[in-house]
Structure 1
Amino acid sequence: MKYALVALILAGLGAQASALDLHGLKPDEVAVWAAPVEGGPPLASHRADEPVNPASTMKLLTGWAALNRLGPDYRWKTALLSAAPVEGGALKGDLYWLGGGDPRFDNGNLLSLLYSLRLRGIRQLDGRLLLDKRAFGKVGGADDFDDDAGRAFVVGPDAHLVNLKVAWLTFYRDGQSARVVLDPPLAGVEVRSELKPGGAEPCPDVRRFVSIVNDGRHVSVAGSLPQACDGQRAYVNVLEHDEFAGQDFAALWQALGGVGPLRVERGTAPAGARELATWQSQPLSVALADINKYSNNTMARTLFLTLGREAGGEDDTAAAAERVLRDELRHRGIADADALQLENGSGLSRRERVTARLLGEVLLDAARGPFAGEFIASLPIAATDGTLKKRFADLGPRLRMKTGTLDDVKALAGYWQAADGRRLAIVAIVNGPRAKSSGPALDALVSDLALSFNTAAMRPSAKP
């Protein structure tokens, strides 16, 4: 694909873009800022100080602050505690599950935690399972997404987030029968199946052949299942956080041969409770890659809250997280503009606002800082992975950018690396009713900036 180059006026020692080919975008619906990481004036600045909704490019601010404040090796801890004695393989009292707010905590991790409990010699829980949710106080919200209720991308954060609060439907073709199984087998979710065996056609995605209707407690599945769909899976968002965590715990505990608990409630572990089993997460850098490459809102919001918790914000964790992020901007010498508005730090927001310049300055600071490798590695690679897997085939892996999409928002922010190794930080954000169809124009604009940077870098006057 060929793109028109950005018209540049070179002046003095730096290059400043005086005109941009907006590829059909209206001047008042796009904000652009781009500058060399290795130093020099901005190469492009169009409405760079106008507050705009960044959609998921807001995750870059949260991830940058988390790396600086917590470090790339920060890990979340999940623990099972009790003050009750163990007699004959039975815990003679309540078990407390101290949720750590681990954004990547899944069924495999929970199974490992429960296996540690079994290794201790406990097979029966005679008391209650009490969810200790002290990790997060107020978690903030994501207003005006009621029409998306039940979809996985709007699942909120929680101290006991497990499997991103989704269960899996696994489809089987056994001979001439077709069936579906819920994994884990949650007691509060009923699966109704009207599946029929299908033919011999290929099955790239089981959802092409089955319909799934889900209200959170009842999942109805119907369709004709080809033989090639045997073993394929689809996820469903079911139950509320406490119910999901409690029923998931019980299902996996029983799978390990355990008995109990009596019931699941909330409670705070007493000071004298001892640790019976613990799970430590993989490092923050691994979570950050999941957040940015796949634009995971739930995980990003959980990371945002972790910033607040580590700053002592037990009562209002979301407010504490905002204070941390703004303080980090000031500490790093980045203007804490009045235009910056935060709701949950993930970009799943109708209210969050940032300027292209502020977001760009964060990119510059991240690329020049001690955790540049971890930060840049977390971004989708053009034509390779994540949300850029099918975009920018002409530019390839020298381009790494975070994407952002909402109703009326389309955004890109990240880095281009020229052939000589120099890097350009780029921010381009479209706001307006035409944003949904602006993808090709936005990609063309970013490509122009990248190719123009290459051209400028090859000029004799360009600094090495």
Structure 2
Amino acid sequence: MKMTRQLTLLAALAVYAAPELALALDLHGFKPDEIAVWAAAVEGGQPLAAHRADAAVNPASTMKLLTGWAALNRLGPDYRWKTALLSAAPLRGDALSGDLYWLGGGDPRFDNGNLLSLLYNLRLRGVRQLDGKLLLDKRAFSRLASADDFDGDAGKAFVVGPDTHLTNLKVAWLTFFNDGHGARVALDPPLPGVNLQVDVKSGGDEACPDVRRFVAIRNDGRHVSVTGSVPAACDGARAYVNVLEHDEFAGQDFAALWHALGGSGPLTVAQGRAPDNARELAVWQSQPLAVALADINKYSNNTMARTLFLTLGKEAGGGDTAAAAERALREQLAQRRIDDANLLELENGSGLSRRERVSVRLLGEVLLDAARGPYAGEFLASLPIASEDGTLKKRFADLGPRLRMKTGTLRDVKALAGYWQAADGRRLAIVAIVNSPRAAEMGKALDAVVGDLVQAFDPAAARSGANR
């Protein structure tokens, strides 16, 4: 009890170092140097709380807020990515007598449905046979930003890197069947570079909330083995696997879907730049940036966030895509008069980084600017809703949907950043970031700190959350 009072006193002293602040934080068991907190009303006034507000901390995935805010302001919420098929070769009958170029635009949401639409448009043009090579034109990104020190997570979907030809997030689906013809598993799409070995039997009558409870999946990127049992309730269930490298995946996926549409070819897949005289044969325009941003923030998708960061660089120009992305982001901060001195490292804009460092005050000022700006609706709509969806679906049930926050989790990092909206419309921007070897075990304490800030700003918060 004595130690708790001491820690609370230390936090209070840290807050009262700025005389305009009135809230003494209860750190709920955190040591003062383990957590950084900042909160302020969107409608104006002095910060409600600021504890280690200018310390450089690893933000984990709350860094996605900075990238998304910059992208909305620079590109606009209706920005769309373009993917095209081009060729300078003549069409003889239904055969394209030469190479086909796939110009990748770095669309973070480009999936097999989009690829099928692109290929269907090529078939509508009358093309059935590809007599030449499929050449991947990767000019959109001259350099990819790194995500170092994640070798131990190789093969996991969350570390898939960005790419101009990112397709289906570079994952294939295992579809499980048990329909009276025996238990079996199919790879979708059927990639020839992936060897699938299946040893499954029919299971019992159990419910199937997740097929992975009943099967073991081993995957090294080229060989996937599935063993176990498939209950009848798992018929049609799916699980994804991260396989192949980007160019291999894109080329084999293209060929599989092209053949499914009755096409033949191409002869092989390689990289190549389309000649100036190449004509567009088929085009796919993505859904708007605002749609991608919702996927990025609600489900904390690192691959998509890194791709969005590079899109900033592509549109800014200047040769080095990753360097141009950082420059564009810092320019946005300068235009909004937000000091970037505490943005000490910007590796890839997604928070999948051991090196990225930012202050909670800087992130908080970005939240204020976003809430006051022309794209406030799109920005707010991208955030997980407490107790309802995304990464907050099972958190903050006591506060409910008036709380929207981006989460962040890495080894030794836990973070929350977002907004509380009171019943009278007032809004509180909140950033709370833990950097500590104890971070993984302190999730409830972090939630409690955020809850205290909400209650201090809006004493009716708990009742509002319960009543929705």
Aligned AA (1:356): V
Identical aligned residues as a percent: 79
- Deviations along 1:159-216, whole A, 9 cap, x unmatched? 0000000000000013151100000000100100000111111111000000000010
- Deviations along 1:39-91, whole A, 9 cap, x unmatched? 00000000000000000000000000000000000000000000000011000
Alignment partners' CA distance in 2, 1:389 and 1:428: 19
- Deviations along 1:127-185, whole A, 9 cap, x unmatched? 00000000001111100000000000000000000000000000001315110000000
Equivalent residue, structure 2, for 1:285: 290
Tell me by how many angstroms 1:258 deviates.
0.0
Alignment partners' CA distance in 2, 1:33 and 1:340: 18
Q: 1:297 and 2:319 equivalent?
A: no
Is the 2:84–2:102 contact (alpha carbons within 8 Å) kept by the matching residues of 1?
Answer: yes
Is the 1:170–1:183 contact (alpha carbons within 8 Å) kept by the matching residues of 2?
Answer: yes
Matches within 5 A, 1:120-159: 120-159=125-164
Correspondent of 1:108 among 87, 108, 113: 113
Q: 1:20 and 2:59 equivalent?
A: no
Question: What value does the CA root-mean-square deviation take over the aligned residues?
Answer: 1.9
> Where does structure 1 lack aligned partners over 5 or more consecutive residues?
458-464
Matches within 5 A, 1:311-460: 311-313=316-318, 315-455=319-459
Alignment partners' CA distance in 1, 2:317 and 2:422: 43
Tell me by how many angstroms 1:380 deviates.
0.2
Tell me by how many angstroms 1:391 deviates.
0.2
Alignment partners' CA distance in 2, 1:177 and 1:455: 59
Alignment partners' CA distance in 2, 1:170 and 1:431: 40
Alignment partners' CA distance in 1, 2:413 and 2:12: 27
Correspondent of 1:167 among 172, 193, 198: 172
Aligned AA (1:29): E
- Deviations along 1:392-428, whole A, 9 cap, x unmatched? 0000000000000000000000000112110000000
Aligned AA (2:334): R
Q: 1:179 and 2:193 equivalent?
A: no
Tell me by how many angstroms 1:455 deviates.
3.5
Alignment partners' CA distance in 2, 1:44 and 1:317: 38
Alignment partners' CA distance in 2, 1:18 and 1:108: 51
SS at match of 1:358: helix
- Deviations along 1:247-278, whole A, 9 cap, x unmatched? 00000000000000000000000000000000
Is the 2:432–2:450 contact (alpha carbons within 8 Å) kept by the matching residues of 1?
Answer: yes
SS at match of 1:79: strand
Tell me by how many angstroms 1:15 deviates.
6.7
- Deviations along 1:255-313, whole A, 9 cap, x unmatched? 00000000000000000000000000000000000000000000000000000000114
After TM superposition, the runs of 4+ consecutive aligned structure 1 residues lying more than 4 A away are 5-11
Alignment partners' CA distance in 1, 2:65 and 2:23: 27
Is the 1:168–1:234 contact (alpha carbons within 8 Å) kept by the matching residues of 2?
Answer: yes
Alignment partners' CA distance in 2, 1:226 and 1:367: 48
- Aligned residues, how many? 451
Change (3 A) 1:8 1:353: closer
Farther-moved stretch of structure 1 (16-25 vs 63-72) = 16-25
Tell me by how many angstroms 1:450 deviates.
0.4
- Deviations along 1:430-457, whole A, 9 cap, x unmatched? 0010000110000000000001101499
Correspondent of 1:82 among 76, 87, 94: 87
Aligned AA (1:281): S
Aligned AA (1:229): C
Equivalent residue, structure 2, for 1:239: 244
Equivalent residue, structure 1, for 2:464: none
Alignment partners' CA distance in 2, 1:154 and 1:348: 8
Alignment partners' CA distance in 2, 1:338 and 1:224: 53
Tell me by how many angstroms 1:390 deviates.
0.3
Correspondent of 2:97 among 88, 92, 99: 92
Is the 2:385–2:405 contact (alpha carbons within 8 Å) kept by the matching residues of 1?
Answer: yes
Equivalent residue, structure 2, for 1:275: 280
SS at match of 2:324: helix
Aligned AA (1:181): A
Aligned AA (2:63): M
Is the 2:217–2:224 contact (alpha carbons within 8 Å) kept by the matching residues of 1?
Answer: yes
